Amino acid sequence: MINALSIDLEDCYHICGIEDIDKQDEQQESYIRLEESTERILLLLKQYNICATFFVVGVIAKNAPKLIKKIANAGHELAVHGFSHRRIFDMTPEEFEEDLLQAKVAVEEAAGKKVSGYRAPEWSLKKNNLWALDILKRHGFSYDASAVPLSHLGGKHFDFYPHEIKTKYGNMLEFPLSTFRCFWERLPFSGGLSMRITPYFYILDCVRMINNLGYPTMFYLHTWEFDTKHVEIELPANRKFMHYCNLKSTAKKAKLLLGHLEFSTVEDVLRLQGQHSSKASFYNKNNKYCDMAYFKSMVLSLFCVLSVCLMLFGVTFLIKQYIFLLLVIIGTIFYWPWGLLFQKNKTLLIKNE
């Protein structure tokens, strides 16, 4: 089973909803760090003889066309990731169409070839903005990779695996973000923060389960995740966690995955999926699924879980054993000797008056 590997070619300041840094597109004079991180990815892909899909932010294609041309010359697929990295639900249909066409022209002129794929920033395709697919199809796009079948993101109405969605101009292929079931919800594991915090052995197990069902998995990486020393941006706590948590693990996990699994471009995987709709068995690139990295990840994860459980048990035990003492201490802190001191001070003030 061949899985899809995609790279979101964006800079570290391309963060949706943060107005203070959106304007840096106009101030950016150099793409040196972006070019260096992209070069690391290209060398890694060349090492494993893998072609990937690069979803490019249009403003980067406009300002650094040589970088885009280099990616195209290496045999990788180029696709669109919006022009100024704006979410679909932050735009009207007219604004979205203008943004899309700007990005399409910029990427195609830089790459010297047509593009057929699109991914919305922050997976912002929802049930109430499916009009975006009509616009994509009208302008010659053959597939979209913006859907997330999660209740708090795209919505559970999206299928879990590659499927077709009807538009006014014909069917559009949709390749949603890969997820696994967790109780009544589903969770992602194959890119961004979710891949950085998910144990490596479990990522492989999730891929095996999806592949055994006969479907490919969608992996996605960001170029800035391969630049751990890029400028830290002041962000809200939740955004900072999403952007920087365990950043150093991305390159390491990516290298292990490229050695374990077969990958190709999104376009190729969708074409192959259409030709072979029957279920396929899990395929290991090196014919070796459980290696030292797999077992090390599994053991470390088990150790972390047991440590947390032990800590919680210990805290619970101590609270149960010493709850009376804790109540006495808390009562002492709040009511004595502070209460007596305040009372004494009040008495002195009355006498002085």
CATH of the domain at 91: 3.20.20.370
Q: Each residue's pLDDT tens digit in the chain (353 positions)? A: 899 999 999 988 888 766 655 445 444 545 788 999 999 999 999 999 999 999 999 999 999 999 999 999 999 999 999 998 999 999 999 999 999 999 999 999 999 999 999 999 999 999 899 999 999 999 999 999 999 998 767 677 789 999 999 999 999 999 999 998 877 778 899 999 999 999 999 999 999 999 999 999 999 999 999 988 777 777 788 888 888 889 999 999 999 999 999 999 999 999 887 765 544 444 445 555 677 888 888 888 888 888 888 887 777 777 777 777 777 777 666 655 555 555 555 555 555 55
Same domain, 269 and 221: yes
Same domain, 100 and 56: yes
Q: Is there a domain that residue 292 lies in?
A: no
Q: Where are the alpha helices (DSSP H) in 139-213?
A: 192-197, 200-212
Same domain, 281 and 312: no
Sign of CA dihedral 3, 103, 15, 164: negative
Q: Is there a domain that residue 318 lies in?
A: yes
Q: Is there a domain that residue 174 lies in?
A: yes
Same domain, 277 and 326: no
Same domain, 148 and 206: yes
pTM of the shown model? 0.82
Same domain, 262 and 305: no
Q: Is there a domain that residue 209 lies in?
A: yes
Give pLDDT tens digits for 290-317.
778 888 888 888 888 888 888 877 777 7
Q: Which of 174, 177, 95, 106 is nearest to 142 (CA)?
A: 174
Report the domain count for the chain. Answer: 2
SS (H, E, C) the chain: CEEEEEEEECCCCCCCCCHHHHCHHHHCCCCHHHHHHHHHHHHHHHHCCCCCEEEECHHHHHHCHHHHHHHHHCCCEEEECCCCCCCHHHCCHHHHHHHHHHHHHHHHHHHCCCCCEECCHHHCCCHHHCHHHHHHHHCCCCEECCCCCCCCCCCCCCCCCCEEEEECCEEEEECCCCEEEECCEEEECCEHHHHHHCCHHHHHHHHHHHHHCCCCCEEEEEHHHHCCCCCCCCCCHHHHHHHHCCCCHHHHHHHHHHHHCEEECHHHHHHHHHHCCCCCCCCCCCCCCCCHHHHHHHHHHHHHHHHHHHHHHHHHHHHHHCHHHHHHHHHHHHHCCHHHHHHHHHHHHHHHC
Q: Is there a domain that residue 109 lies in?
A: yes
Same domain, 160 and 32: yes
pLDDT of residue 302: 85
Q: For residue 70, give its domain range.
A: 2-287
Q: Is there a domain that residue 38 lies in?
A: yes
Same domain, 269 and 211: yes
pLDDT of residue 283: 46
Same domain, 220 and 322: no
Same domain, 89 and 220: yes
Same domain, 203 and 96: yes
Q: Is there a domain that residue 102 lies in?
A: yes
pLDDT of residue 198: 92
Same domain, 301 and 277: no
